Structure 1
Amino acid sequence: MHWSAVERILGLLLMLFSLTMLPPAVVALIYGDPGLVPFLVSSLVILFVGALAWLPVRNARHDLRTRDGFLIVVLFWTVLGITGGLPLVLSQNPEIPWTDAVFESLSGLTTTGSTVLTGIDDLPYSIRFYRQQLQWLGGMGIIVLAVAILPMLGVGGMQLYRAETPGPVKDAKLTPRIAGTAKALWYIYLGLTIACATAYWLAGMTPFDAIGHAFSTVAIGGYSTYDGSIGHFDSPLISMICVVFMLIAGINFAMHFTAWRSRSLRHYLQDTETCWFLGILATLSAVTLITLMATSYLGGWGNTWHHAVFQAVSIASTAGFTTTDFAAWPVFLPVMLLMAAFVGGCAMSTGGGIKVVRFVLLLKQGHREIIRLIHPQAQVLVKMGRRAVDERVINAVWGFFAAYIALFALMMLALMGTGLDQVTAFSAVAATITNLGPGLGQVSDHFGEINAAAKWVLMFAMLLGRLEVFTLLVLFTPAFWRR
Structure 2
Amino acid sequence: MLKTIPPIERITHMYELVSPVKPLVVLKYLSILVIGAGAMLLVPLIVALYFSEYTIAGTYILIGSVIILLGSLFHRLLPEGELEWKEALIIAAVIFPFAALLSAIPFTFSAGMPFLDAYFEAVSGVTTTGLSVAPATVGPAFLFARSWLQWVGGIGIIIIILMVFIPPGTSAHRLYAINSPETPLRPGVTATAKLLVQIYCLLTVVSFLILVAGGMPAFDAVCHALSAVSTGGFSTRADSAAGFAGLTIPFLITISCLMGAFNFSLYPRIIKDKNALLSDIQFRYFLLFAAIGILLVFFTLTETMNPAEGLSVASFQVISALSTAGFSTVDIGTLPDGTKAVLTVLMWVGGSVGSTAGGIKILRLVILLKVVHLVFIRYFLPREALTPLKLGKDVIETEMVYNILTFVFLYSLVLVCSSFLFMLYGFSLDNALFEVSSALGTVGLSCGITSAAMPDILKGVLIIDMLLGRIEIVPLLILAFPRTWVKK
On whether the aligned pair clears a TM of 0.5, the verdict is yes
Select the residue among 320, 329, 343 that pairs with 1:314.
Answer: 320
Matched with 2:410 is 403
Matched with 2:368 is 362
Select the residue among 457, 464, 480 that pairs with 1:476.
Answer: 480
Structure 1 residue 24, shift from structure 2 partner = 2.3
Matched with 1:328 is 334
Question: For 1:107-140, what per-residue CA distance to the aligned partner results, in whole angstroms no more than 9, with x for missing partners?
Answer: 0110011101241xx3211111111111111111
CA 403–386 in structure 1, closer or farther in 2 if over 3 Å, else same: same
Q: What letter corresponds to residue 51 of structure 2 in structure 1?
A: Y
1:394-473 map, 5 Å: 394-417=401-424, 420-440=427-447, 442-443=448-449, 446-473=450-477
Select the residue among 188, 191, 210 that pairs with 1:177.
Answer: 188
What stretches of structure 1 of length at least 5 have no aligned partner?
none
Select the residue among 209, 212, 215 that pairs with 2:226.
Answer: 215
Q: Which stretch of the first structure deviates more once superposed, 2-11 or 74-83?
A: 2-11
Select the residue among 34, 50, 56 that pairs with 1:38.
Answer: 56
Matched with 1:28 is 48
Q: What letter corresponds to residue 9 of structure 1 in structure 2?
A: Y
Distance 1:136 1:366 in 2: 37
Select the residue among 136, 141, 164 that pairs with 1:149.
Answer: 164
Q: What letter corresponds to residue 146 of structure 1 in structure 2?
A: I
- What SS does structure 1 have at the residue aligned with 2:472? coil
Distance 1:243 1:225 in 2: 16
Distance 1:24 1:273 in 2: 35
Q: What letter corresponds to residue 150 of structure 1 in structure 2?
A: F
Select the residue among 115, 125, 143 that pairs with 1:108.
Answer: 125
What stretches of structure 2 of length at least 5 have no aligned partner?
1-20
- Any conservation in 1 of the 2:88–2:175 contact (CA below 8 Å)? yes
- Any conservation in 2 of the 1:15–1:47 contact (CA below 8 Å)? no
CA 396–224 in structure 1, closer or farther in 2 if over 3 Å, else same: same
CA 11–39 in structure 1, closer or farther in 2 if over 3 Å, else same: farther
- Any conservation in 2 of the 1:418–1:453 contact (CA below 8 Å)? no
Matched with 2:98 is 79
- What SS does structure 1 have at the residue aligned with 2:198? helix
Distance 1:197 1:480 in 2: 44
Matched with 2:116 is 99
Structure 1 position 388 matched with structure 2 position 395? yes
CA 397–90 in structure 1, closer or farther in 2 if over 3 Å, else same: same
What is the RMSD computed on CA atoms of the aligned residues?
2.1
Matched with 2:278 is 269
Distance 1:271 1:155 in 2: 30
- What SS does structure 2 have at the residue aligned with 1:315? helix
The two structures have a TM-score, normalised by structure 1, of 0.91
Task: Give the fraction of aligned pairs with identical amino acids, expressed as a percent.
Answer: 28
Structure 1 residue 462, shift from structure 2 partner = 0.7
Q: What letter corresponds to residue 92 of structure 2 in structure 1?
A: V
Matched with 2:13 is none
Distance 2:235 2:257 in 1: 14
Matched with 2:291 is 282
* Structure with greater contact order relative to length (CA < 8 Å, sep ≥ 6): 2
- What SS does structure 2 have at the residue aligned with 1:196? helix
Q: What letter corresponds to residue 107 of structure 1 in structure 2?
A: S
- Any conservation in 1 of the 2:44–2:60 contact (CA below 8 Å)? no
Matched with 1:16 is 36
Q: What letter corresponds to residue 235 of structure 1 in structure 2?
A: G
Say how many residue pairs are matched.
465
Matched with 1:163 is 178
- Any conservation in 1 of the 2:39–2:64 contact (CA below 8 Å)? no
Matched with 2:109 is 90
Q: What letter corresponds to residue 47 of structure 1 in structure 2?
A: S
The two structures have a TM-score, normalised by structure 2, of 0.90
Distance 1:438 1:455 in 2: 15
Structure 1 residue 482, shift from structure 2 partner = 5.0
Matched with 2:207 is 196
CA 422–238 in structure 1, closer or farther in 2 if over 3 Å, else same: same
Structure 1 residue 12, shift from structure 2 partner = 2.4
Matched with 2:85 is 66
Matched with 1:337 is 343
Distance 1:187 1:304 in 2: 38
Question: For 1:77-106, what per-residue CA distance to the aligned partner results, in whole angstroms no more than 9, with x for missing partners?
Answer: 111111111111123xx4200000000001
CA 149–118 in structure 1, closer or farther in 2 if over 3 Å, else same: same
Distance 1:349 1:405 in 2: 22
Q: What letter corresponds to residue 390 of structure 1 in structure 2?
A: E
Structure 1 residue 376, shift from structure 2 partner = 6.3
Distance 2:245 2:363 in 1: 35
Question: For 1:29-79, what per-residue CA distance to the aligned partner results, in whole angstroms no more than 9, with x for missing partners?
Answer: 2223x3x32343244234324533542442521111111111112222111
